[in-house]
Chain A
Amino acid sequence: MHVPTKLLDDPADAVTDALRGLAAVHPELTVDLEHHVVSRNHDHHGDHRPGKVGLVSGGGSGHEPLHAGFVGLGMLDAAACGAVFTSPVPDQVLAATTAASSGGGVVHVVKNYTGDVLNFQMAAELADDEDIAVETVLVDDDVAVTDSLYTAGRRGTGGTLFVEKVLGAAAEQGMALADVAALGRDVVARSRSFGVALSPCTTPGSDRPGFDLEPGEMELGIGIHGEPGRRRVPVPATGVAREVARVSVAAIADDVPLDGEELLLLVNGMGGTPLLELQVLAGDVVTELTGRGARIARALVGNHVTSLEMAGAMVSVCRATPQLLQLWDAPVRTPALRWGA
């Protein structure tokens, strides 16, 4: 007999029901339950500005609060929510693009996964047919993928948060379409992530985990679905957080110089790791980073880009500039991230 272990009503309706819940508690958002699109309800705050560049992202569901939780003032204008771990289809992305469009063009923030790339590409063509100018910013911040020539390339993971926050602020301040897109590509180039899984997750409706990870093993260099990156190793008997911090920061430092850099830091939980553990990890990560001559300018610790209930964490950094810090500090008011507004 199947014993439910997930807090759902009907697993088949998990995404719809979650969006219905989001709508119930956030009247400042418009939730399109047919297309699974969440957008800013501009009437609610009277903050609609014709000509403002629209910012759209999306992807498979299961990574909450990404992306729907980051819709609001100073961040996304709309998010397209696919089935669990499956990218949205072009019609959904087009609906999000239309909702976000106020005449100044729309930027698509796309995580580099084959399905996301193909569906957003097709949606951009459909938007072009409707005379909405679309620029795409492809996020590929994941240093775990070392042989990008022979794979689908570096994945878009935790760094997506930096891109969405910074571009949201830039669009809010009236930056033009091409400049927002160029800034986005610069933020991607400055961002790096590395993730570790300590347990797999089970998608709603499935009866077993998405991958096998024996107790006592951890997977180094995961993407945001637990898909593998570098290798599987035993979990050390003690100092697990120190080891994860050491491996993650070393992988990032192998890829970009950190000495003398001012960093935005995200210590991101994958959904199944408590904040207490993430704070332990954050302390160890800061020790590793400062030991390499970096300075932490701003930091976020928590579950922001998750993989259902997977245990594990991801370390993301963005090498900041004064402009990026100013945009990072700008007001934001969304379900999952808010300050200064």
Chain B
Amino acid sequence: MCRIGAIKSKKYIHPSLALKLMRSQQKGHDNSGFAFVMQDLGGIFENYKNLPTLSMACSDAGMKIAEDYLHSLGFVRVFQFTPEVYPDAKLDIKTMPNYVFEVFQYPKTYKNASKEEKEELLVNSRLKLRKLLEEDDEGYVYSFWEDVLTLKEIGNPKDIGTYFNLWGEDVNIRSKIITAQCRQNTNYDIVRYAAHPFFLQGYTTLTNGENTFYEKNKLAQKNLHKAYIGFESDSQCFLYTLHYVHKILKWPLKYFKHVLTPLPYEEIEKRDDKEVLTRIKTSMANLAINGPNTTIGVLPDGTMLSVEDSKKLRPTVVCKHNDMVIITSEVCGANEIMPDRNSNDDIYTNEREIVVVDNDLNIERIPQ
């Protein structure tokens, strides 16, 4: 089983906080990896908010492939950050030769391009880059997006933290949103791409659980969008469904829940909005899920959410304190880094609601 956690803060925070959040839940994961996505970046990236950041782990050859390709498109590198690493034979970590965090200026031809055109360019570039790197297994490109930094690695999270010096309070790497998971993929082979969080066009999801409708979800999603690829994990389907409902169909967020776990027909019949819900349930049946799971998501505007399966077989708790909200699998995580909150205000997401945290850290529970 996975343990997942997300922190949303009004101030810039360091990934060590996410590492501590997850380490306290270590009985629930197998120490096979650690991954995080940081959004709304601070520290040394704060001045580049409108420029795309490439997050990649690769070989030397992969580095050249990536840079050559991005240069051929007209991208110009404006900033590069290479994390200082602390190798030690005793550390349980399967490292890659290079960890790349590079900020690029858009090609000149995109000077007057719209937001949509730029988003299209970034997705296409990442997909092509992934393909190029895959040919000879030269690397992994996790995200190429404005104001986003991603790291995924195989090994013991504690050692990964040590290797990248994430335990300290480095002022260089900071952000207002961090989503993290301490585990590699269990359902399939251990592949860096398979580790949560999953990211696409500003949307992030992490899931604890099993998607028993993975096969039909996958078959339905493959044709919906060019970026719906990989499927190295059954949980990836939740990201694509969130992206499809919110970004492509442009539906309000609460309908994500109606797609994931539609109400039974008998309950729909009693609702005033039964026609809408029936249409959704009918047309999106292939995107529904049926396994036990809970998902934490982040939208491009920073809104964070938590949603559960309809059987409530996996927990999430939403905890708030002053300038910070945590959504995580187990309350011990929140106790670790937010000990002085009023735990009576903790929200245990239920099976028929979606809990939404806005940028002012207001928490709304929207019933399905």
Do A and B associate with each other?
no
A interface, CB within 8 angstroms of B? none
B→A interface (CB under 8 Å): none
